[in-house]
Chains A and B, each alone.
Chain A
Amino acid sequence: MSSQAAEGLGSIPALLQRNAHRFADRPAYREKEFGIWQCWTWADTEREIETLALGLLNLGVNRGDFVSVIGRNRPHFYWAMVAAQSVGAIPVPLYQDAAAEEMAFVMDHCGARFAVVEDQEQVDKLIDIQDQLHQFEHMIYIDPRGLRKYDHRRLHQFSHVQEQGRAAREEFLAELKSRREALDYDSTCVMLYTSGTTGKPKGVVLSNRNIIEASKSSSEFDNLTEAEEVLAYLPMAWVGDFIFSIGQAYWCGFCVNCPESADTMQTDLREIGPTYYFAPPRVFEGQLTNVMIRMEDAGRLKKWLFDTFMAHARKVGPAILDGRPVGAWDRLKYALGNILIYGPLKDTLGFGRVRVGYTAGEAIGPEIFDFYRSLGINLKQLYGQTEASVFITLHPDGEVRSDTVGVAAPGVEIRIAENGEVYYRGPGVFEEYYKNPESTASTKDAEGWVATGDAGFFDKENGHLRIIDRAKDVGKMADGRLFAPKYVENKLKFFPNILEAVVFGNDRDKCTAFVNIDLNAVGNWAERNNIGYASYQELAGHPKVLEIMRGHVEEVNRSLASDPMLAHCQVHRFIVLHKELDPDDGEITRTRKVRRGVISEKYADLLNALYDGSDEISTRTEVTYEDGRKGYINATLKVCEAEVVPVEAPEQVAAE
């Protein structure tokens, strides 16, 4: 880890200056608008950011102020973040779909004076909460629609702020330069709030050193260049998007493409054909489910071709991708498959040009992972955290396995504590939790080691790290045996029909589960089998659906039974929930991690029914609509029994 800034470039605005010279005419941002990809070169970008930064000075942004950025991925927001940095302020991107009180908490916690938002919806949301925010002053919006009649004393249109900045250029340029030059490796680059499965969000402070070092080493690891294309579609408040769309993009000088709207992401992905791509497992799952659903409806010849060549791809595809020896006949057949099936399929999915693809955040099903690898897509896993500026471990090319998360990222050291918890340290390690020294101290020790909160071990075969579960979720059953809920949940979620699963069993004598159906997959199945339903709730409670779910649970039980460590974690009874677990209800985080505490409290009656032996339970559940209103749904749910493979009590007691 160097104490000197890499190549003398100690901040994102400094990288912008370099790119505006070195890559002046290369595209930096694209956004599809009015049906056409609009493009900004690095030189354009520098001008846009400079005028905005001048405009921010004109509005009175001080050094050290916090500027909230709330909206979907658009070039304007990325510019706003870099413009804020340029004037010495700290950008704080927030989840745009967060409820008003979540936003209020975060903005109050950091004392944001300014916010850059997208449209009327966000403006309204902030107006609702601004009375609780003492320090909050000005709001800048991008889309003026519907906002004309609003009181504009503290409300400004993005383009007007830029115009005013342009007009006041002479006045503020010297100030801008001096503030920009004052930035160094130790100054704060960004503050990101972690969603947190328990407790209030924490503000993770990341310095320029963290972001630039992490971006630099990871870019070198995968040989990223200025020629990459990425599609920015994941929430801007998430550290991954900050690293990919700002850190690495500014370090390498590659182009960030923004979709037209959230709903057009798939079309836009295909049009751009990114070379470097990131998606959480659920996106890959969703796409695979879609492909399979459409193949069900395809003609016989097409289906035969697909099945035949996919079987061949599964056999030799990963080996070809890893450069291992494969026979000439198999290669020929694979090449033919590439022309007939794999190539067109990759193109449809938008993966035609992907050179490096990553998935992270959750375990990915081995079948899903292998499906994409067998098509020749270099999909890899990484393991990361906001506190690490993403990268802790990643898969090197040619050493990819679905059950590991790879080797330590360049410059990162990893240590496994005695209780199995994974610790790391490196140049990407965060500075602190903002205004929260206790949490900082309990997470990061004096030597810079950070506790991940995950339990894992190094695979003896290849030295890769394997993550078992959240350390705090790993518990003990009533008889003292190991209880690893996530491991079982992941096995359940690998079925396309199951969207979400929550397994219980801590301090109990047997395991049980809540299951969410995947409306897409199960709905399609219902359509094909002429099963009518009027609502999610009705479909989820359909006897045949319950039968399918039972089948899935029993299959998981059989697979668990073969694992001596976890055979006792088989699911005895389960309930198919009448509603989807939803971040608006606080049941899962915005990054879709299960909040166990909330769920077992909210559904206490159902949980009770899982253990008291009843066959049915009537319940009433509160739901929150998108606009924050509350409602109730009533349901009578069946408690299903699943067959369990008998296992003998283990001879040896698990080592402590």
Chain B
Amino acid sequence: MLDAPEGYTTEDGRKIGGVVMEMKNITLRFGGVVAIKDISFDIREGEIRAIIGPNGAGKSSMLNVISGFYNPQEGEVWYKGAKRPPMKPYQVARQGIARTFQNIALFDGMSVLDNIMTGRIRQMNAGLFSQALWKGRAEREEVENRGAVEKIIDFLEIQHIRKTPVGRLPYGLKKRVELARALAAEPSILLLDEPMAGMNVEEKEDMSRFVLDVNDEFGTTIVLIEHDMGVVMDLSDRVVVMDYGRKIGDGTPDEVRTNQAVIDAYLGVAHD
């Protein structure tokens, strides 16, 4: 079922499309350290794809390869049916790939609204002169973009902190603002690096709901790194498991759960 090229329908009735991104034999080294070794997997349109693994398994590195922050020494990244040449992160962002960070990367002194507006940078094309005069195109664009941002604020239920400087917010809300900024870019693929780390149960439940709603409402493909197994198993359609830079499992949550290599990686095996 999962190999059907034209996509499939999940148990809860969501339509998953064909392959939108494919990693082929990726290897990433930092000097002598091999962070990712010969990993291949694909991402389908509209699915929630999780990457899991113990600390230091190379999950964030993998995400950084997708986002163009690292260029792998070996292997190919295929996006929308074409091989992607080595790119800068901003070029990848232009292709419709947005992300959040493990350690929140927002502008602390700016308001929530302004932070999210920065996510619309791709949609703002007015020149410096027009921006400075606040006339014509610049004004029109600002109004349009503000409208789009307000929809996201409404969607993520953060109206009450619209004008609050991000630095004053508690952790859970900052995470939500970061998600809002990523969404503002209207990405076709959204990369979430540990969106629920450090959250309490209630915040995790909220965040899970938002991730599902984003996927459902906008049809966004989501690639997610997460440590909380419960969350991963509940949310994702397919899971890639990494350990020491290698792929040790790939499949539906149920398949992964019963995979012996995965169990060993998480619980440890006796060394003889």
Residue positions of A touching B, CB distance < 8 A: 33-36, 145-146, 148-149, 260-261, 263-264, 267
Contact = CB atoms under 8 A, between A and B. Distances in A.
B154 A33 contact: yes
- What 9 pairs between A and B have smallest CB-CB spacing? A263-B160, A34-B150, A264-B160, A35-B150, A260-B159, A149-B13, A261-B159, A264-B159, A146-B213
B192 interface: no
A263 B213 contact: no
A34 B213 contact: no
B159 A263 contact: yes
Contacts of B135: none
Interface-central residue, A34, A145, A149, A260, by most chain B CB under 10 Å: A34
B56 interface: no
A148 B213 CA distance: 11
B94 interface: no
Contact of A261 (B12, B157, B209, B213): B157
A421 B216 CA distance: 58
B216 A148 contact: yes
B153 interface: yes
B171 to A, nearest CB: 16
27 contacts: A33-B154, A34-B147, A34-B150, A34-B151, A34-B154, A35-B150, A35-B159, A35-B162, A36-B150, A145-B155, A145-B213, A145-B217, A146-B209, A146-B212, A146-B213, A146-B216, A146-B217, A148-B216, A149-B12, A149-B13, A260-B159, A261-B159, A261-B160, A263-B160, A264-B159, A264-B160, A267-B160
Nearest to A266: B160
A293 to B, nearest CB: 16
A149 B217 CA distance: 11
A607 B111 CA distance: 49
A523 B260 CA distance: 50
Interface string B132-166: 00000000000000110011011101011010000
A267 B147 CA distance: 20
Nearest to A267: B160
Nearest to B209: A146
A149 B12 CA distance: 8
Nearest to A147: B216
Nearest to B162: A35
A148 B146 CA distance: 26
Contacts of A261: 157, 159-160
Interface in B25-39: none
A614 B151 CA distance: 58
Interface string B1-22: 0000000000011100000000
B152 to A, nearest CB: 10
Nearest to A261: B159
Contacts of B13: 149
Contacts of B12: 149
A146 B218 CA distance: 11
Contacts of B159: 35, 260-261, 263-264
Contacts of A263: 159-160
Nearest to B212: A146
A36 B13 CA distance: 36
B87 to A, nearest CB: 34
Contacts of B155: 145
A504 to B, nearest CB: 34
Interface-central residue, A35, A148, A149, by most chain B CB under 10 Å: A35
Interface in B63-96: none
A33 B12 CA distance: 31
B222 to A, nearest CB: 16
A33 B153 CA distance: 10
Contacts of A36: 150
A34 B157 CA distance: 11
A267 B153 CA distance: 16
Contact of B153 (A35, A145, A146, A148): A35
A33 B212 CA distance: 23
Contacts of B157: 261
A589 B240 CA distance: 49
A193 B109 CA distance: 48
B67 to A, nearest CB: 28
A217 B216 CA distance: 51
Nearest to A148: B216
Interface string B196-216: 000000000000010011001
B163 to A, nearest CB: 8
Nearest to B147: A34
Nearest to A259: B159
Interface string B153-184: 11101011010000000000000000000000
B146 to A, nearest CB: 8
Nearest to A36: B150
Contacts of B213: 145-146
A266 B112 CA distance: 18
Nearest to A260: B159
Contacts of A35: 146, 150, 153, 159, 162
B177 to A, nearest CB: 15
Contacts of B154: 33-34
A36 B159 CA distance: 11
Nearest to A263: B160
Given A35-B159, A146-B217, 7 more contacts: A35-B153, A36-B150, A145-B155, A145-B213, A146-B209, A260-B159, A264-B160
A260 B157 CA distance: 10
Interface in B209-233: 209, 212-213, 216-217
A155 to B, nearest CB: 15
A413 to B, nearest CB: 46
A535 to B, nearest CB: 12
A141 to B, nearest CB: 15
Nearest to B154: A34
A148 B155 CA distance: 15
A36 B162 CA distance: 12
Nearest to A146: B213
Contacts of B147: 34
A34 B159 CA distance: 8
A600 B146 CA distance: 54
B15 to A, nearest CB: 11
Nearest to B213: A146
A260 B153 CA distance: 11
B205 to A, nearest CB: 8
A36 B153 CA distance: 12
Nearest to A625: B202
A286 to B, nearest CB: 16
Contacts of B151: 34
A34 B146 CA distance: 9
A33 B160 CA distance: 12
Contacts of A34: 147, 150-151, 153-154
Nearest to B150: A34
Nearest to A34: B150
A378 B127 CA distance: 53
Contacts of B160: 260-261, 263-264, 267
A262 to B, nearest CB: 9
A267 B159 CA distance: 10
Contacts of A267: 160
Nearest to B148: A34
A596 B217 CA distance: 47
A260 B158 CA distance: 10
Nearest to B157: A261
A303 B212 CA distance: 49
Contacts of B14: 149
Contacts of A260: 159-160
Nearest to B113: A35
A114 B150 CA distance: 32
